[in-house]
Amino acid sequence: KYRQQLVESGLRQNTVKNHLGALRTCLRWALKTGLIGGPLPDIPCLPRRRRETLPTLEEISRLLDAARPDVRDVLETLLNIAVRPGDCFALRRNWVDLDNNLLRLEDSKTGPRLVCLVPQAAPILARRLCACANPNDFVFTTVRGRPWDLRYFGEQVRKARQKAKLGSHATAYALRHVWTTNAFLRGLDLATVKELRGDKDIRTTTTYLHLASHLGHLQRAARQAVGPFPAGEQCTAPNRQGGCE
């Protein structure tokens, strides 16, 4: 009933999800401390809404051009390595190992993990490290040298999106989706993508498979399936050898 009331009140899906998550947390705490007894009531989750639209390379380029330098550094890192925005904001100087091309994340959403660096991301991190005086300094900070806050960062991305005249699909987290989609399109298997992303449950990774089947990819695959045609000739009916009659 509470969930239905939230939905009917016109709240956004993410807001309803946050309300239900807070309720579950409070009930678990009350049960643990003995304020309530018996099994917890079943609080249904909202169905996960799949992202259907990703920013194109041209839109990503426009977003990067419109972003402040400190924001652009985070966005480019998200585009090139499989981390979350929160991982970037928590990253400290002594967690970066440029000699071995590794990030040793100690405070990730899914627990401590290693992240492989690629040549596209290493120069950004090397430049950011030059501004870090102490081993525990944050690598990604604002132009004033302050640690990033998710809400403040989201506001800066929104401003860059408006400046570039892009839709709401061009978000920082969408770049993680772009990375995952490109990984599948380039032939990486599901288990490898899961490890690179740092997902605990492979079902989380499989939710991105549908993005790898977007229309443009399917159109290219359809042309590849029948092969190239001679100039000025169209295939109307295949023969038994797989060619055109």
- Choose from 17-31, 51-65, 151-165, 180-194 the range with maximum mean pLDDT: 151-165
Compute the CA torsion angle 82, 140, 103, 173 (nearest 10 deg).
-10
**Residue 18 predicted with pLDDT over 90:** no
Q: What is the pLDDT of residue 156?
A: 94
Q: What is the pLDDT of residue 111?
A: 82
Task: Tell how far CA 72 is from the center of its chain.
Answer: 16
Q: What is the pLDDT of residue 91?
A: 93
Residue type, 159: K
Q: What is the pLDDT of residue 60?
A: 94
pTM for the model:
0.69
